[in-house]
């Protein structure tokens, strides 16, 4: 593996599968570039450093968790 330099950009791609992928993807509109098809959400993050991408990752995960918890509460906890 090549050593990361401070000015190298960092990219991350995440593929999620969820039965309620439509509503979950809505929580990402202001957070990241993503595509939604069927039950899958593909999220792409790019940042200038590992610490920046980690911060963006944390924001995305918080948005997805809150969205899923909201869906579960709306569905009556099922």
- What CATH number should be reported for the domain holding residue 45? 3.30.310
Q: Label the pairing between strands 33-37 and 10-17.
A: unpaired
78 found inside a domain:
no
Task: State yes or no: pLDDT of 38 exceeds 60.
Answer: yes
pTM: 0.72
2 found inside a domain:
no
DSSP strands (E only) in 5-71? 10-17, 33-37, 40-47
32 found inside a domain:
yes
Domain that holds residue 51: 10-73
- C-alpha 73/C-alpha 78 separation (Å) is 8
> What's the average model confidence in pLDDT over 49-76?
86
Q: Containing H/E element for 64?
A: helix 50-74
> What's the average model confidence in pLDDT over 32-37?
90
Q: In what order do the strands lie in the sheet with 40-47?
A: 10-17, 40-47, 33-37
Task: State yes or no: pLDDT of 77 exceeds 70.
Answer: no
């Amino acid at each position: 593996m090549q050593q990361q330099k401070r000015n190298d950009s960092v990219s991350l791609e995440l593929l999620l599968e969820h039965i309620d992928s439509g509503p979950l993807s809505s929580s990402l509109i202001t957070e990241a570039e993503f595509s939604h098809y069927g039950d899958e959400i593909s999220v792409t993050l790019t940042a200038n450093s590992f610490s920046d991408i980690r911060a963006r990752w944390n924001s995305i995960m918080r948005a997805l968790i809150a969205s899923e918890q909201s869906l579960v509460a709306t569905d009556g906890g099922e």
